[in-house]
Homo-oligomer: A and B are copies of this chain.
Amino acid sequence: MSRFRLGPNRYGKAETHVVRVTKDGGIHHLRDLTVGVALSGDMEAVHLTGDNAAVLTTDTQKNTVFAFAKEYGIDSPEEFGLRLARHFVDSQPTIHHARVAIEEHTWDRIPATDGDGEPAKRQHSFVRGGGETRTAVVHYGAGPGGSGRQDTAAHVVSGLKDLVVLNSTDSEFRGYLNDEYTTIEETRDRILATAVTAQWRHTSTDSDWEESYPAARRHLLEAFAETYSLSLQQTLYAMGHRLLAGRAEVCEVRLALPNKHHFAVDLEPFGLENDNEVFYAADRPYGLIEGSVVRDEAPDPGPAWS
C-alpha cells in the first residue's frame, strides 16, 4: 500500500502594504511597499497533526514588517527585505529559510513653493508615479528543502514589472519556419511593443541598491530603444546583455516580454492607404518571450529564483 510524505512547503503573510513617512523637518519622504514573507523549516508537525509549536504566525510576520519600518526605516526594498529575512531565520530555531518578496510603488513629489517661487520649507504632497513597479526578492538561510542550518547564504534579485515600451519602427519579422499551419506574412516594418518584466540577480548582498536600480532600468530602456530588432528574442537578449555589461554587480538577468501585438489596420476597403500609421492594439492572444542572460562566472543561484 502507498505511503505519502510531506513535500516542499512554505507559508507566510502575503501583501502587507506598508507606507513609511520620514520627516526631515518639514520635508517628508515616502516609501510605499507591499511585502510578502514566506518561511520554511520544521513544519512536519503542523502539517501532520496541526501542532503549531514551530509556527511563527503570519500575523506576527505582519507586525514585524510594520515594526521594522519604524525601527530601521526603509532605505531600499532590497535592504529592507534582507533585514526581515535575516531576522526570521536568525531569531527562530524552527525557521530555516525566509523568502521576502517586495513590490515598491513610486511616488513623485508635488513641489510646494513659497511666496517667491522658491521651494517651500514644507514639502509633504505626492502623486503616484505610474509606469513600472520596482521589485525585490530576497532569500536567506538553508534552501527551502534544506534540513541543516549551516548554509545561511543570502541572495538578492532586483527587478521591475509593467514597464511598457514601444518602438514605432525599426522592427522586422522574417525568415521563420513555415509549416502547414503557417499563414503569417513577413514584414520589414512593424510596431514592437512589450510590457517588460525583468529580474536581475546580484552577485553579493553588498550592492548600492539605490544607485543600482535606476541605472539598471535605464540600461533596459536604452537597449530596447536602440536595438534594430529582427525578433523579440533578439531584443530580449540585447536588454539582458546591456544590463550585465553595464552593471558589474549583476550576474544574471531574466526577462519575460509579452509581444503586445499592434496590427496595422487594413484601410483599403475605405480607399485609404495605411503606411504603418493606424494600428489595432490587441489584447489576446499574445506572444510571450522568456529568456535569460548569464555572466560566465556567475555563482550558483541556489534558491534565488524560487
A interface with B by C-beta (< 8 Å): 2-23, 28, 30, 32, 36, 38, 43, 46-60, 62-64, 66-67, 69-71, 91-92, 94, 107, 110, 112, 124-132, 163-170, 173-177, 179-184, 191, 221-222, 224-226, 229-234, 236-237, 240-241, 244-245, 248, 252, 254, 258-259, 262, 265, 267, 269-270, 272, 274, 276-297
Contacts and interface: CB of A to CB of B under 8 A. Distances in A.
B19 A50 contact: no
A2 B176 CA distance: 32
Nearest to A222: B110
Nearest to A2: B295
26 contacts: A5-B294, A13-B286, A14-B287, A18-B278, A18-B280, A20-B277, A21-B168, A21-B278, A32-B281, A48-B234, A52-B174, A53-B175, A53-B177, A56-B177, A60-B177, A63-B269, A67-B267, A69-B277, A69-B278, A125-B165, A125-B168, A125-B224, A127-B163, A128-B131, A181-B270, A283-B284
Contact of A70 (B47, B267, B269): B267
User: How many monomers of this chain does the complex have?
Assistant: 4
Nearest to A32: B281
